[in-house]
Amino acid sequence: MSKIVIFSGTTEGRELAGILSSNHIPAELCVATEYGSAVMPALPHIKVHEGRQDAKAMRELYHNAGATLVIDATHPYASVVTQTIKESVSGTEIEYLRLLRPNDSATSHSLTHRYSSAEECAKALAEMSGNVFLTTGSKDLFCFTGIPQLKDRLTARVLPGIESLSLCLEAGLSHRQIIAMQGPFSLEMNREMFRNCHARHLVTKESGRVGGVDTKLLAAEELGLTIHIINRPAAEEDTFGSSMEAVLHRIEEKYAFALQLPAMEITLAGIGCGNEYAMTREVEKAIEEATVVFGAKRLLETIRCQARTYPYYLSQDILPKLKELYHQHPLGQKVVILFSGDSGCYSGAARMKEALAAKKDSLPMNVRILPGVSSIQMMSARLAIPWQDAAILSLHGKSQDTWQPLLSDAIRYHNATFFLTSGYEDIEQIRLLLPKDKNLHFYAGYNLSYEDEVVTKVTEETPPFVQKGLYVGVIQNNAPQHRPLLPWIKDEEFLRGNVPMTKEEIRKLTLCQLNLKEDSVLYDIGAGTGSICVQAACLSPRLSVYALEYKEEALQLIKENAARFHAYNLHVIPAFAPEGLQDLPPANSALIGGSKGQLPSILKVLHRMNPKMQIVVNVASLETLSAIQQLLAEEKLADFEMIQLQSNRVKPLGNYHLFDSNNPVYLCSFKTTERI
């Protein structure tokens, strides 16, 4: 293989030499100074030449090395050297590549993107979400308004002239999307404009301080906007400048050789509750050695490092930046992504690992996960309440309808329940909801590990929580119940009024036939007193139960019975079926206790919602039984099973114990077919 000659003296040159060396590709590397040699590590297959050379000496080097490719990786401002290298290859068949480092913006803002043209910028913005504030003038507007998914998100600030306004209107902008004003604009004015337009992106040109770019960029940085810079046209002498990615691609193309690039080392690190002293030494070491660190702003403020930092914590923000960084500097990248608390306790680390794994083919990487001390562990230590047998929940980002049944169930059956929250609002809501019980003790921890940490017992008299910050809660139950393994509620425990109620024996077998699982959705159509749907909801807080009923007395009874048994995962729908089913989430199982002659219509809607739905019909009338038989004869039911039940109970009467017979009931379980 012919040798490659690299003119170095820069980080890019050293990185390129390292990549070639690791792929066993011979190269001659030239540096001008002794310092250039000193910082260049000894690499197999790489021969280092020290000293300045003129064009003649360079040609002699090419001849002796048998070079077919020269890569100029000198400093961007070493224009004399670059001109000499170009002169040395002129008139030869040796290919010349200019490895030029990115022309970084004056802003140090991490959310910055650069583009070679307005068209490129517009295409990129079309793939992003959020409003865009354009300050590039009126002549490039068509690049942005020509993309339908971008047009309505634009606000253009232009000069207050007829031509500018005409171009805005010709480009299809509405009046509300145009700001026609003469600059320059102060920091405060830029800031207020960005806020008023709810901007998430700023697009600007490299117009310099005279053009007001400095105040625009500073305002955008303060508000966390993503900055998009359209670069100045490159000078003619730099038109051959290539990125590291392009240079590596050309080497592969020229020599028909697939380069094996070093993997990026990525660490997903739990950094504890926030205080730097609560961070493990292993995580500290990873941060110290990192070249790049990602994390939420609060987490980045906790650490001390020399690495570049980016306030990103979502995969959709981090992955593009990783790809960009890797292509710019593929050698020696050590990335740390920070997560609050412990990486294995309700952390974003798991989702991040999945997102990284999906990109492993296009972005070589080695991923490891480091644990941290969670606020659950710290709260446990503060109160001396073990968490080994406790229930652990996260209420963070969840609605009360979601977390209340889970929390209620956990409190009832555990000695201790630890939970993460979205803030003081959750703590206050739980304080108001918690039943008055001498066996229940509620504690809240605020900003654990920080200087203003507070751990307090929460009581009915505790003043409302209003302080914003990080909260974790614990509820201790000195008399937890034992979780029953089978349906347990007796008939006499239900409130029933004058509404008919499914008997206990029928309820138990019906629940078995419904084939319920955790996280299932169940419809109870014609729920009556709610005896079955309440009992189902009590089986697991992860079950979502919807009770459809139209009678006012029955609706009230269902609500009262649900409250009586803390069935917070039971949702009462005052409606007829099938109309009342339309807006519900698709169910896994459905019980039909009353259909008002609408059984075929109900089954048709259920099949459309989920063709594999397990359906149970409790039949107590000849009319419903006849309808079932007709559907069966028409092959509209599959996996059909019918059980006839008649239970007898013994009741004392004087000196005797007499049999008390209940009416017979048919339990029909099945799935519907396409014929329905």
The CATH number that applies at residue 554 is 3.40.50.150
Per residue in 391-435, pLDDT tens? 999 999 999 999 999 999 999 999 999 999 999 999 999 999 998
Q: Is 515 left (phi over 0), alpha (psi -120 to 50) or beta?
A: left
pLDDT band for 107, please (50, 70, 90 cuts). Answer: low
Calculate Rg over the CA atoms of the chain: 35
Q: How far apart are CA 135 and CA 219, in angstroms?
A: 13
Instruction: Report DSSP state, residue 483.
Output: P
Q: Which tokens sit at 231?
A: 């670069």
Tell me how many degrees the CA angle 92-95-98 measures, rounded to the nearest 5: 125
Residue 235 lies in a domain: no
Residue 239 lies in a domain: no
For residue 339, what are the contacts with CB-CB under 8 A and spacing of at least 6?
268, 269, 270, 271, 295, 299, 313, 347, 348, 349, 352, 372
The answer to whether 336 and 294 have CB atoms below 8 angstroms apart is yes
- SS3 for 154? strand
Mean pLDDT check: name the lowest of 90-94, 99-103, 566-570.
Answer: 99-103
- CATH number at 37 reads 3.40.50.720
HSE-CB for 259 with a 13 A CA cutoff: 25
Residue 240 lies in a domain: no
| Residues 497 and 548 reside in one and the same domain | yes
Q: What is the predicted pLDDT for the residue at 1?
A: 57
Percent composition of the chain: helix, strand, coil (DSSP 3-state, to 5): 35, 25, 40
Residue 383 lies in a domain: yes
Tell me how many degrees the CA angle 146-148-211 measures, rounded to the nearest 5: 55
Number of domains in the chain: 5
Peptide bond into 184 cis (omega under 30): yes
Q: Which tokens sit at 400?
A: 């009360």
Q: How far apart are CA 12 and CA 36, in angstroms?
A: 13
For residue 646, what are the contacts with CB-CB under 8 A and spacing of at least 6?
661, 662, 663, 664, 665
Q: How far apart are CA 288 and CA 665, in angstroms?
A: 72
The answer to whether 29 and 49 have CB atoms below 8 angstroms apart is yes
Domain span holding position 521: 491-672
The answer to whether 508 and 537 have CB atoms below 8 angstroms apart is no
Q: What is the predicted pLDDT for the residue at 210?
A: 42
What sections of 611-662 are H helices per DSSP?
622-633
Q: What is the predicted pLDDT for the residue at 157?
A: 94
Work out the average pLDDT over 194-212: 81
| Residues 529 and 655 reside in one and the same domain | yes
Q: How far apart are CA 200 and CA 217, in angstroms?
A: 13
Work out the average pLDDT over 102-126: 79
**Nearest C-alpha neighbor of 413 from the set 377, 440, 384:** 440
**Nearest C-alpha neighbor of 515 from the set 606, 601, 613:** 613
| Residues 425 and 470 reside in one and the same domain | yes
- CATH number at 183 reads 3.40.50.1980
Output the CA–CA distances (angstroms, integers) from residue 348 to 81, 300, 352, 367, 369, in the order listed: 49, 16, 6, 15, 12
Per residue in 474-484, pLDDT tens? 999 999 999 88
HSE-CB for 368 with a 13 A CA cutoff: 12
The residue with greater pLDDT, 107 or 45, is 45
| Residues 339 and 382 reside in one and the same domain | no
Q: What is the mean pLDDT of the chain?
A: 89
| Residues 332 and 269 reside in one and the same domain | yes
The percentage of the chain sitting over the pLDDT mark of 70, rounded to a whole number, equals 95
The answer to whether 558 and 527 have CB atoms below 8 angstroms apart is yes
**Nearest C-alpha neighbor of 273 from the set 443, 456, 458, 451:** 451
Q: Which tokens sit at 485?
A: 């393994």
Q: Which of 477, 504, 539 is the last residue of a domain?
A: 477
Mean pLDDT check: name the lowest of 179-188, 245-254, 463-472.
Answer: 179-188
Q: What is the predicted pLDDT for the residue at 471?
A: 93
Residue 65 lies in a domain: yes
Residue entry with tokens 């009126």: 138
Per residue in 33-60, pLDDT tens? 776 787 788 999 999 999 989 999 999 9
SS3 sequence of 194-230: HHHCCEEEEEEECCCHHHCHHHHHHHHHHHCCEEEEE
| Residues 134 and 215 reside in one and the same domain | yes
Q: What is the pTM of this model?
A: 0.64
| Residues 566 and 665 reside in one and the same domain | yes
pLDDT band for 5, please (50, 70, 90 cuts). Answer: very high
Beta pairing class for 665-672 and 614-619: antiparallel
Q: What is the predicted pLDDT for the residue at 236?
A: 38
Per residue in 238-277, pLDDT tens? 445 788 888 999 999 998 888 888 889 999 999 998 888 8
Output the CA–CA distances (angstroms, integers) from residue 201 to 153, 219, 227, 486, in the order listed: 10, 12, 6, 56
Residue 623 lies in a domain: yes
pLDDT band for 104, please (50, 70, 90 cuts). Answer: very low
Give the containing element (helix H, strand E) for 287: helix 281-289
| Residues 58 and 135 reside in one and the same domain | no
Output the CA–CA distances (angstroms, integers) from residue 441 to 50, 438, 651, in the order listed: 75, 8, 43
pLDDT band for 136, please (50, 70, 90 cuts). Answer: confident
In the predicted structure, residue 103 carries a pLDDT above the cut 70: no
The residue with greater pLDDT, 28 or 305, is 28
Q: Which tokens sit at 57?
A: 């000496």
In the predicted structure, residue 305 carries a pLDDT above the cut 80: no
Within a 10 A sphere around the Cβ of 531, how many other Cβ atoms?
Answer: 29
| Residues 354 and 406 reside in one and the same domain | no
DSSP annotation string for 331-345: SS-EEEEEESB-TTS
Per residue in 592-647, pLDDT tens? 998 888 999 999 999 999 999 999 999 988 999 999 999 999 999 999 999 998 88
| Residues 575 and 665 reside in one and the same domain | yes
Work out the average pLDDT over 651-657: 83
HSE-CB for 194 with a 13 A CA cutoff: 25
Q: Which tokens sit at 115?
A: 């583009």
| Residues 542 and 663 reside in one and the same domain | yes
The percentage of the chain sitting over the pLDDT mark of 90, rounded to a whole number, equals 64
| Residues 508 and 643 reside in one and the same domain | yes
Residue 619 lies in a domain: yes
The answer to whether 275 and 449 have CB atoms below 8 angstroms apart is yes
Peptide bond into 578 cis (omega under 30): yes
Residue 627 lies in a domain: yes
Work out the average pLDDT over 202-211: 71
